[in-house]
Amino acid sequence: MTIILFLVGAYLIGAIPTGYLIGRWYKLDLREEGSGNLGSTNVYRVVGFIPSVVVLFVDLLKGFLPIWFFPLWDSHTGPWALAYGLAAILGHVWPVYTRFRGGRGVATAAGTLIALAPGAVAIAFFLWLGTVLLTRTASLGSLLAATTMPIIVNSTKETLGNPQSVVIYALLIAALVWWTHRANIGRLLRREEIKIHWNRKFSPRTNSPDNGDKKRMTVKSVAVLGAGSWGSALAHVLAENGHDVRLWTRNEALVQEIHAKNSNERYLPGAYLNKNIRPSTDMVDTITGTQFVVSACPSHAVREVLGAARPHLDEQTLISTSKGIEITSDLRMSEVIAEVLGTLNGIQTVALSGPSFAEELVQGLPTAVVAASLDEDSAVLVQELFQNGYLRVYTQPDISGVEFGGALKNVIALAAGVSDGILLGNNARAAIITRGLAEIVRLASRLGAKESTLAGLAGLGDLVLTCTSDMSRNRTVGIAIGSGRDPDEIVNNMDQVVEGVRTARAAHELGRKLDVELPITQGIYSILYESVAPSEALARLMAREPKPERWG
């Protein structure tokens, strides 16, 4: 009975949600911030250095206390002491207090081993620290330290208790650490693992303010490249948030209009733009001295514009908002940017995407988007930059999924528009959206995207918006095509870029190369580039062989 009580006590001590409590102190739920776990690394990313040290110390103590003190009151020593340590670790990983969402278990496991083999832990710590300093990847350091710990324990023979039992215990901990880091391992293999951004400030980050609360916000200097509807709307939001905003465009007449009238009638008719936006045709003046650069030009122009900007970039965070796939290379926009910038040091890229029309955003209507980056801290910085009372920004490490979702939904929106143009009804549109999402998942997951991302804002959310709204350019063009108008004539007569037209070709080529079945995309491609009538494309689609429904 005593043993059971001590095991339960060890679990409850390990389950003390230190990271959660620290987060609540700063009015944050760390289960919904950063990487979403309650360990000290995520605390460091989200709220700063000192809180993370507090969490680290307490988490070490949670492992140390049960394995060191419980045997003093328990006649059953030896293996039971190790059982108390495991119970504490399990409590940290699956804490009952926070619905079983805790940390990865590394610090609490280290605390138990400090009580058993302090010298071996010291060696493993320096191995962990060196790995983190060299790679900026905490998960790699944890995996390496946990893996080598049994070897170190066995080599040093310096343990409090039976050395063989401690070696076996260290092996169990290594297995648990590998299991809790399985998602990290996948990202490491894909070279997408989140890296630590060294925060030299010892104070926690402040939350992003509501729209009217600008006193707590640190003013940032931002360059927006591209003054179309989306670039102008984002510049407006940033200026409303109190930031120093510079807006670059090739159009001198547009610069004069924004200066004189605070408007952009061609792209945002009837909208008022914040008077503090500074438009210019001088790219050097626009970029020099800024902390963030927003790429808001059409996808086919990203390579050219970023190539011109490259000599003037200097460790800014680069925010990509273009939705498309480059036809000549089949690259996503962040991949195009990486290729253009090459080895330029200090540049981190964040993709900003989601269900958002510029016309509604500039009116201050509620909108939610995603900031995705392989560098989590850069995504958080972008979240803080844009978020206000009407724009909610979520962070996300799956930049591949976010970019593919934003690009491929335009092709499905063309199909939804064609369906509406032929007057096929609501049933058909719902089927196109649903099976279109299956196509997006099928292609994007083959290229490293996560299905969960494509079920979120940047995938399903953006798809539904673009396929159903009269404000959608891609759906509007699809309706015109379905009504019998010539696709080339429609596109040539539009003031704004219809990304789905180019993306349909890129997606078709990707599907062919990867042998991925994309029937809806194939139908749109045949209409746009093979002069197939919409009715014929529909007939081909409906004549396909019946099969079970599969997701992706």
Q: Which residues are catalytic?
A: 409
Task: Sheet with 221-225: list strands edge to edge.
Answer: 278-280, 244-248, 221-225, 292-295, 317-320, 348-353, 367-372, 391-396
CA distances from 96 to 13, 42, 349 (A): 11, 20, 37
Q: Rounded to an integer, what distance in angstroms lies between the CA atom of residue 31 and that of residue 19?
A: 9
b/e per residue, 373-396, with b = 16+ CB within 10 A?
A: bbbbbbbbbbbbbbbbebbbbbbb
Q: Rounded to an integer, what distance in angstroms lies between the CA atom of residue 208 and that of residue 55?
A: 23
Q: Which residue has the tokens 């970039």?
A: 313
CA 296 to chain centre: 18
Burial of 487 (0-12, 13-18, 19+ CB in 10 A): buried
Q: Which uninterrupted H or E stretch holds 387?
A: none
Neighbours of 513 (CB within 10 A): 9
Q: Are 549 and 522 in contact (CB under 8 A)?
A: no
Neighbours of 77 (CB within 10 A): 12
Q: Which uninterrupted H or E stretch holds 221?
A: strand 221-225
Q: Rounded to an integer, what distance in angstroms lies between the CA atom of residue 404 and that of residue 447?
A: 9
Q: Rounded to an integer, what distance in angstroms lies between the CA atom of residue 282 and that of residue 440?
A: 39
Q: Are 379 and 396 in contact (CB under 8 A)?
A: yes
Burial of 452 (0-12, 13-18, 19+ CB in 10 A): exposed
Q: Rounded to an integer, what distance in angstroms lies between the CA atom of residue 84 and that of residue 63?
A: 9
DSSP annotation string for 246-307:
EEE-S-HHHHHHHHHHS-BTTTBTTPPPPTT-EEES-HHHHHTT-SEEEE-S-GGGHHHHHH
Q: Rounded to an integer, what distance in angstroms lies between the CA atom of residue 523 and that of residue 301?
A: 26
| Ramachandran area for residue 219 (φ above 0: left; ψ -120 to 50: alpha; else beta) | beta
CA 437 to chain centre: 19
First to last CA, the chain: 52
Q: Rounded to an integer, what distance in angstroms lies between the CA atom of residue 376 and that of residue 399?
A: 11
Contacts of residue 485, defined as CB under 8 A and 6 or more positions apart, other chains included, come to none
Q: Are 325 and 298 in contact (CB under 8 A)?
A: no
Q: Rounded to an integer, what distance in angstroms lies between the CA atom of residue 310 and that of residue 336?
A: 13
